């Protein structure tokens, strides 16, 4: 008999507690003006009936739904999937509910935002989205607060939580130089987001400061198959160290080395994202960890601040990434 008969409305709780609906609402909201005695009666009644307020009705009344829109691009990328999981968990901890859409094209992103607006979300989080300019525009048009995670935009009015790609690039340069490399290459992705350009910029700049230069640069789509195809070109440059825009590219490069004829000595290789695979023994890849834990925490904190007070001024935060050193950059005793 644990099947509750029907949906309970605040009216029923009020009836049982011999009190008005407003008092029920206030008691449950923790309004200090309610007497201890009535509060207890209300709480007891609510518990007995298993009352759960209808958040849709509350949202309509309050002009605040507690729903946060999340726009992602590609959950097949483990990095995005992991970020989404963390976001969902952290939003949940703050009693916010994520309405999730995939926006993997410019039009898709815009229509996702429109759908979100119809649902009166309190804020939008865009996760490493290309097309950030469309998203920014759509959110401004609809006056929806936006938090851009791991992407940034010239617009000063949106919130941005972003990894420090410049310093990541520099960190990688220092590490590779320290490991004794003297010639360097960059394996680029095909996207042209500021954030991915920054990785390269930071890398090259620090190389220069150390008296070195980039001797090769190849770019590839972010798919293992494609990267595997163009990797030989990169290898033929003979660079002693390669910084890859992404772990996927790095894995493909390692595979290419293994497939290459003769016992070619592998260059030192560094990836980006520190995905699970990087720690597996077959790859054992040195990689930049963007500290998603902190990045998602700050993102959710920012979104929450907006929900609480919609006039919260825009924030910009930068997260320091760190390098996880593994075998792929260990000097090979030949």
Which of 55, 197, 257, 305 binds a second copy (CB under 8 A)? It is: 55
In the list a second copy, DNA, none, the entry touching 28 (Cβ below 5 to 8 angstroms by class) is DNA
DSSP 213-246: -EEEEEEE-SSHHHHHHHHHHHHTTT-SEEEESS
Which residues, listed in sequence order, are joined to residue 271 by a DSSP beta bridge?
287
In the list DNA, a second copy, none, the entry touching 97 (Cβ below 5 to 8 angstroms by class) is a second copy
**How far is residue 82 CA from its own chain's centroid?**
8
Which of 1, 29, 309, 331 binds DNA (CB under 7 A)? It is: 29
251 binds a second copy (CB under 8 A): yes
Pick between residue 20 and residue 223 the one whose CB is nearest to DNA. Answer: 20
62 binds DNA (CB under 7 A): yes
266 binds DNA (CB under 7 A): no
| d(C-alpha 42, C-alpha 205), whole Å | 65
Q: By rule CB under 7 A, what string of x and - marks binding of each residue 97-136 to DNA?
A: ----------------------------------------
Q: Closest by alpha carbon to 147, among 166, 169, 129, 165?
A: 129
37 binds DNA (CB under 7 A): yes
7 binds a second copy (CB under 8 A): yes
261 binds a second copy (CB under 8 A): no
Q: Which residues contact 180 (CB under 8 A, 6 or more apart)?
A: 240, 331
Pick between residue 174 and residue 255 the one whose CB is nearest to a second copy. Answer: 255
State in angstroms the smallest separation of the CB of 279 from DNA.
Answer: 47
In the list DNA, a second copy, none, the entry touching 33 (Cβ below 5 to 8 angstroms by class) is DNA
257 binds a second copy (CB under 8 A): no
Q: How many residues does the chain have?
A: 334
10 binds DNA (CB under 7 A): yes
Phi (first) and psi of residue 272, to 5 degrees: -145, 125
Which of 13, 67, 269, 278 binds a second copy (CB under 8 A)? It is: 67
Neighbours of 172 (CB within 10 A): 29
- Interface residues for a second copy in 114-143 (CB under 8 A)? 114-115, 117-120, 140-143
State in angstroms the smallest separation of the CB of 174 from DNA.
Answer: 54
| d(C-alpha 334, C-alpha 78), whole Å | 35
DSSP 278: G
Pair 195, 151: CB distance under 8 Å:
yes
Q: Which phi-psi region, left, alpha or beta, contains residue 283 (left: φ > 0; alpha: ψ -120 to 50)?
A: alpha
Of the CA atoms within 13 Å of residue 173, those in its CB half-sphere come to 23
Q: Which residues contact 292 (CB under 8 A, 6 or more apart)?
A: 79, 82, 83, 86
Give 110: exposed, middle or buried? Use CB within 10 Å, 0-12, 13-18, 19+. middle
Which of 13, 84, 139, 249 binds a second copy (CB under 8 A)? It is: 84
Pick between residue 97 and residue 216 the one whose CB is nearest to a second copy. Answer: 97
Residues that bind a second copy (CB under 8 A): 2-4, 6-7, 52-57, 59-60, 65, 67, 74-76, 78, 81-82, 84-85, 88-89, 92, 97-102, 112, 114-115, 117-120, 140-143, 224, 228, 251, 255, 258-259, 276-277, 280-282
Binding residues for DNA, rule: CB under 7 A, are 7, 9-11, 19-26, 28-29, 31, 33-35, 37-39, 53-54, 57-58, 60-63
């Amino acid at each position: 008999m644990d099947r509750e008969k029907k949906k309970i409305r605040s009216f029923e709780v009020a009836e049982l507690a011999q009190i008005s609906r407003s008092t029920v609402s206030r008691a449950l909201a923790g309004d200090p003006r309610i007497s201890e005695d009535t509060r207890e009666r209300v709480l007891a009644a609510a518990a007995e009936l298993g009352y759960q307020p209808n958040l849709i009705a509350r949202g309509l009344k309050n002009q605040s739904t507690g729903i946060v829109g999340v726009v992602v691009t590609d959950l097949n990328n483990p990095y995005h999937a992991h970020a989404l999981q963390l976001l969902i968990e952290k939003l949940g901890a703050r009693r916010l509910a994520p309405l999730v859409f995939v926006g993997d094209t410019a039009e898709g992103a815009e229509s996702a935002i429109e759908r979100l607006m119809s649902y009166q979300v309190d804020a939008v989080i865009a996760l490493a989205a290309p097309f950030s300019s469309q998203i920014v525009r759509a959110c401004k048009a609809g006056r929806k607060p936006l938090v851009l995670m791991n992407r940034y935009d010239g617009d000063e009015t949106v919130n941005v939580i972003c990894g420090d790609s410049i310093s990541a690039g520099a960190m990688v340069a220092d590490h590779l130089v320290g490991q004794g490399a003297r010639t360097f290459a960059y394996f680029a992705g095909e996207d042209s987001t500021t954030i991915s350009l920054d990785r390269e910029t930071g890398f090259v700049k620090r190389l220069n400061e150390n008296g070195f230069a980039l001797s090769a640069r190849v770019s590839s789509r972010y798919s293992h198959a494609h990267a595997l195809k163009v990797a030989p070109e990169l290898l033929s440059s003979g660079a002693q160290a390669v910084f890859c825009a992404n772990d996927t590219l790095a894995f493909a490069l390692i595979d290419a080395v293994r497939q290459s004829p003769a016992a070619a000595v592998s260059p030192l290789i560094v990836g980006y994202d520190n995905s699970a695979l990087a720690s597996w023994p077959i790859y054992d890849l040195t990689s930049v960890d963007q500290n998603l834990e902190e990045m998602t925490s700050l993102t959710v904190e920012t979104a929450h601040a907006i929900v609480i007070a919609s006039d919260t001024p825009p924030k910009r935060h930068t997260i320091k990434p760190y390098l996880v050193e593994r075998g792929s950059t260990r000097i090979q005793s030949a």
